[in-house]
Structure 1
Amino acid sequence: MIEILDRSEGNILAVRAINKLTEEDYENVLIPKLEALIQTHGSARFLFFMDKDFGGWTSGGFWDYAKFGTKHQNDFDKVAAVGGPKWLEQWMKFKSYFVRAQIKTFPVESLEEAWTWIKS
């Protein structure tokens, strides 16, 4: 499940990922919100907070994540990933070579630091 965080504003979308993310989470919540931000502001900043209950992605959810990321790879200014599995940090470093966005990962206990960074 994806929860839109109240601190989202302007071209910043912040979400909290809970349990396992599915195709429906991307198609019905995340992708429409991000596409609207990109259309309105020309680019977006995205903070993706994976709390302690985050259980990863279903195969369809991960596929939607990958497709959207490829389609909009140059439409982000900054992306912050907070928490999540250890392999995600390596994946984000790899992705940073192919996009113009600044990408940074934070441990789950550094959510406030991530907020400060995404807004700067």
Structure 2
Amino acid sequence: MIEQIQGLPPGTLGFRASGQVTAADYERVLVPDIEAAFALNRKLRLLYHVGPDFTGFDPGAMWDDMMLGFRHFSGWDRVALVTDVAWLRIAASAMGFVVPAEFRLFSNAELVLAIDWIREPKPATEEENK
């Protein structure tokens, strides 16, 4: 199951995965919310929490996740993945450099830190300070 995390600032989406995540979960919750947010924002921030009761992704859900990422490849500003699932942490650590955004990996115990980081304003660049 996927549910949206409420209370995040505009331009930021948060999702919590629990139990078995299916393609229907992506198509019913995640994809429409992300597509609607991209209709209003050029760049988005994403917090994805894979909680302790997560049991796995169906193959269709993994495919939908990959295709959604490719469709908006350069549209991410910051991405935070919060999980204690070992294989997800290894995959994220190995592939994090591919994500064209600031990417950070957090443990479930660091969920509040991840939320604080995803909310934090980006420092102004030298170009913006001129």
1:98 aligns with 2:98: yes
Look up the SS of the partner of 2:7 in the other structure.
Answer: coil
TM-score by length of 1: 0.92
TM-score by length of 2: 0.85
Could you say what the CA RMSD is over the residues aligned between the two structures, in angstroms?
Answer: 1.3
- What is aligned with 2:8? 8
Alpha-carbon shift at residue 70 of structure 1 (Å): 1.6
- What is aligned with 1:59? 59
Larger C-alpha radius of gyration, 1 or 2?
2
Q: Using the alignment, how far apart are the partners of 1:72 and 1:92 within structure 2?
A: 18
* AA of the residue aligned to 1:6: Q
Look up the SS of the partner of 1:74 in the other structure.
Answer: coil
Unaligned 5+ segments in structure 1 are none
* AA of the residue aligned to 2:15: V
Q: Using the alignment, how far apart are the partners of 1:72 and 1:93 within structure 2?
A: 20
Greater than 6 Å deviation, 4+ residue runs: none
Alpha-carbon shift at residue 22 of structure 1 (Å): 0.6
Identity of aligned residues (%): 32
Q: Using the alignment, how far apart are the partners of 1:32 and 1:70 within structure 2?
A: 16
- What is aligned with 1:85? 85
